[in-house]
Amino acid sequence: MKTTIRSTLKNHLLLLAESSWSMIGYFIDEQRHKIPVQGRWQVEDLGDSLSIEIRLYKEDKTLILERLCVVLPESQLFNNWSEQRTPYGDFEGHIHAVEDTLLLQLESTQKIRSVEAFLKVFETEYELRGTMLEGDRQLGSWVLELLRLN
C-alpha cells in the first residue's frame, strides 16, 4: 500500500515538476471576514524533492499568505512535507494521495494545525479547501480553485 501511495504521490498532477497553477477564491480570517484572493502555485523539481511556492493576494495586490514548501514524494518518512508559512512560521506533516484527492495535515512549532484537501474537478482544475486551527480557535479557512497554466 505504501508503494502505491508514494507512486501516486510522485505522479500526482498537482505535484508534477515544473508545473504552474493559478489560484482564485476566498480566505476567511479569524474575524469571519470573507476576503477574495488570487494567487499562484508553482512547482520546481529539486532532484530528490519538490519545491512548491504558494502566494495568495487580496484584490488590491496585498500579500495575505506566502508558503514555501518542500515535498519528499518518495520519502518513507512519516513527515514528507515541510514549509515556512508567512506569517505563521514553520510547519511539518504529511501528504497522502487517495485516488485523485490529496490530503495534507501539518502542524507548526507553535502548535498551529493545518488541514487541507485538494479535490480534482477536471484534469486541469482542482479545488482546495483548508483550515488552520490553534487549539479550538480557527485562525482561517480557504476555498480556492486551481487552474493549470502549463
Distance of alpha carbon 37 from alpha carbon 81, whole angstroms: 24
In this predicted structure, the answer to whether residue 8 has a pLDDT above a threshold of 80 is no
Q: Per residue in 112-135, pLDDT tens?
A: 999 999 998 988 899 999 999 999
Q: Of 51, 6, 15, nearest to 148 (Cα)?
A: 15
What amino acid is encoded at 81 in this protein?
W
Residue 92: is it exposed, middle or buried by C-beta count within 10 angstroms (0-12/13-18/19+)? middle
Q: Of 15, 22, 44, nearest to 102 (Cα)?
A: 15
Q: Per residue in 45-86, pLDDT tens?
A: 888 888 899 999 999 999 988 999 998 876 666 678 999 998
| Residue 2 backbone phi and psi in degrees, to 5 | -65, -40
In this predicted structure, the answer to whether residue 2 has a pLDDT above a threshold of 50 is no
In this predicted structure, the answer to whether residue 5 has a pLDDT above a threshold of 90 is no
Question: Mean pLDDT score of the chain, rounded to an integer?
Answer: 86
What is the pLDDT, as a whole number, of residue 4?
A: 37
Q: What is the residue whose three cell numbers read 498532477? A: 13
What is the pLDDT, as a whole number, of residue 96?
A: 85
User: Higher pLDDT residue, 49 or 18?
Assistant: 49
Q: Of 72, 105, 68, nearest to 90 (Cα)?
A: 68
Q: Is the distance from CB of 39 to CB of 55 less than 8 angstroms?
A: yes
In this predicted structure, the answer to whether residue 16 has a pLDDT above a threshold of 80 is no
Distance of alpha carbon 15 from alpha carbon 42, whole angstroms: 9
In this predicted structure, the answer to whether residue 11 has a pLDDT above a threshold of 70 is no
